[in-house]
Structure 1
């Protein structure tokens, strides 16, 4: 791990300048796509940090040895939540480019719910709670506060998914999307830590980590598939239009690649119990699952311009990764 924390300032600066140049160019040439990329990058980063805090709360209530495999990475990731959450202000400022209801929507929902001030208040409350989870979870709170925080998370994750992602098409509603987002957040947190490398001194903990990662991948796939099947069987025009916007050639290729990277690869790699305890296997699977998560969020949130949005999201995530590496390696 010490070798991984060494940073080369010249190379870091070059990559950072390239990422900033990409962001600036996209902001000028395709501002709506860049706003979509910002949303994808922020949701991905926030999912990783929030998912880490939720896992720590779950471990506090249920016990088990698996958190030991994460070493200090899982708590450090959770503590980053209050640092990532304020970037939601940028998403709010990009609201006119992201949300078609920003200038007004019809009906009672458009008068009360889909309005900027209400959107901002809900977002602030959600981010405050998630930041509190990120701050308290590594400190091992008592079981009752941990249970209350998990309950609050279970309520707010549904609102967050509805507001930040699904409301990009204000006609789309889904009662299962909150559970899908929660499964994705939990999987992203596990995949992030696995990609960085786990503490292999506890083989049982590493194997349990691999099993949990596989369960998250399969759980997210199940929830997404059930949402599609229910929407297909219901044959409602607004849901058909939502899926239709993501069913062109590029959208189909994108979701197919997501299924391959986020479901089939983890299943093939981790279905054997003996391979779940392999640090090398989990590093590879974790990296692949992170890529699949970004593609899935992109498919959900930015179907109209996925490629430039993906480029913008990759540039932003690169800057965040460089900042994290520089911070963690400043004394290395």
Structure 2
């Protein structure tokens, strides 16, 4: 059971909070904005709460939560019976009410960054099968991949100039439009790839078996790779997030689930290294779910889905391409 002292202790610990006694009611505010208010008998706690979510809150536990008085319905405000709240509930309620009144940077400085949301729900085998059928129907969908990493293709070694050139050409077949150097011009991408591959040894662990430290290693390598210059001079350009993700897939096809701008933006709202780490964790969870549902090995599963030329990581990427990228393109 929560008490008035619990409310006071939690509120005054939050930055910029001031306690005031206004018309015989204890209120807590940030500047001129009140975010907590006790009733005169101190049995009811009013608190800042999104008004569009208020009806659902009250309906969920009407013995605990209630609407404010009629004159306050226009505000982001709700009420709770203080004695009915547990201490964890009160803590969450007070903190969320305070967050509505302070700048986001103040909340982050005090509480830390928002926790990452859970990964999107894993697609079912039926959904993967449908996406695989759609993707496989695109003309020449596997031609450039088989030329780069097929059974008859040479090993992709970025320490070798031929390997760097092969990767460059493959990325351009997927629309990355990376400039080729003219004769006698410097080749910043080639030089950057050579240095990058020396500095960033990548794990070769299959996607469903990746550990968190391995994911962090790949995400760090991704961030550095995305920043590699591909053109210098008055109009400089870097490799960028999409090409970096595709390059990592080319190097570690069983390990890395690539992405493009539409996928990254819709699922994570960002394309930096932290977002790519979340993407790999999503891929890991999805791969495990697909293997568990099918009861097959990864190679047997992709063959069963009609995509034997690619890996499970790529099948998952193709599902995202069909369901997000193509939809975004109209």
Same fold? TM cut 0.5: no
The higher-RCO structure (CA 8 Å, 6+ apart) is 1
More strand by share: 2
Bigger-Rg structure (1/2): 2
More helix by share: 1
